[in-house]
Amino acid sequence: MDVSYILDNLNDEQRQAVTSEKQHLMVLAGAGSGKTRVLVHKVAWQVEALRKSPSSIMAVTFTNKAASEMRSRIEELLQSPAMDLWCGTFHGLSHRLLKRFNKEADLASGFTILDSDDQLRIIKRISKELNLDEAAWPSRQSQWQINAWKDDGLRSSKVKDNGDFFKETIKNIYKQYEEVCIQDNLLDFGELLLKSYEVIKKNEVVRSYFHTRFKTVLIDEFQDTNSIQYKWLLEISSKDASITAVGDDDQSIYGWRGAKVENVATFTKTFKGSETIRLEQNYRSTNVILSAANALIENNNDRLGKNLWTEQLEGENIVLYQAYNEQDEARFTADILKEWMNKGELYEDAAVLYRSNAQSRALEEALLRSSIPYRIYGGQRFYERLEIKNAISYLKIIFNHSDNPAFERSISNPTRGVGEKTLNKIRSAAKKFNISYIKSSAKLLDEGVISGRGGSGLRSYLELITTCREIAETNTLSELMEYIIQTSGLYAYHGKEPGEKGKTRTENLEELISATKNFEQSVADSKKNIEIAEDYLDMISLDSGDRQASEYDDAAQLMTLHSAKGLEFKLVIMTGLEESLFPHGRSMDSISQLEEERRLCYVGITRAMQKLYITYAESRRLHGADTFNPPSRFIKEIPTKFMDEIRPRAQTTTAYTRRDFASAKETKYKVEDEIGYALGQKVLHPSFGEGIVLNYEGTGEAARVQINFDGSGTKWLVLSFAKLEKI
| Catalytic choice (188, 220, 497, 511) | 220
Cα 16 to Cα 42: distance, rounded to the nearest angstrom: 10
Reference 604, options 575, 636, 643, 640; nearest CA is 575
CB atoms within 10 A of CB 131: 6
Sheet containing 86-89: give its strands across.
Answer: 86-89, 57-61, 216-219, 242-247, 24-29, 275-279
CB 613 within 8 A of CB 573: yes
* Alpha-carbon torsion, ordered 189, 193, 194, 196, to 10 deg: 130
* Alpha-helical segments (H) within 89-217: 90-100, 116-129, 139-151, 165-184, 189-202, 204-213
Range 450-456, long-range pairs (CB < 8 A, 24+ positions)? 450/422, 450/425, 450/426, 453/417, 454/417, 454/418, 454/419, 454/421, 454/422, 456/417
Give the pairing type, strands 556-560 and 374-376: parallel
Pairing assessment for the beta strands 350-354 and 569-574 based on DSSP bridges? parallel
Q: Catalytic residue among 221, 224, 235, 618, which?
A: 221
CA distance to 155, 168, 538, per residue, from 171 (Å): 9, 5, 48
- Catalytic residue among 13, 14, 35, 706, which? 35
Q: Could you give phi then psi for residue 637, rounded to 5 degrees?
A: -85, -5
Which among 631, 647, 634 has a CA at the least distance from the CA of 328? 647
Half-sphere exposure of 672 (CA within 13 A, CB side): 14
Cβ atoms of residues 532 and 477 within 8 Å: yes
With helix as H, strand as E and coil as C, how does 656-691 read? CCCCCCCCCCCCCCCHHHHHCCCCCCEEEECCCEEE
220 is catalytic: yes
What DSSP string describes 495-512?
A: HTS-HHHHHHHHHHHHHH
DSSP assignment, residue 223? G
201 assigned to active site: no
Catalytic position from the list 607, 621, 647, 704: 607
Cα gap 68→525, rounded to integer Å = 58
CB burial readout 326-365, b (16+ within 10 A) else e: bbbbbbbbbbbbbebbeeebebbbbbbbbbbbbbbbbbbb
CA distance 456 to 503: 30
Catalytic residue among 251, 322, 606, 681: 251
Q: One of 16, 19, 23, 36 is an active-site residue; which one?
A: 36
Q: CA nearest 522: which of 706, 709, 392?
A: 706
Catalytic residue at 221? yes
Expressed in angstroms, the distance from the first to the final Cα of the chain is: 83
Rounded CA gap, 72 and 101, in Å? 28
**Phi-psi region for residue 448, left (φ > 0), alpha (ψ -120 to 50) or beta?**
left
> Which amino acid is residue 8, in one-letter code?
D
- Cα dihedral across residues 76, 81, 86, 91: positive or negative: positive
Nearest to 649 by CA among 609, 692, 678: 678
- Residue 611 buriedness (CB in 10 A; 0-12 / 13-18 / 19+): buried
d(CA 238, CA 210): 8
Q: Which residues are catalytic?
A: 35-36, 220-221, 251, 607
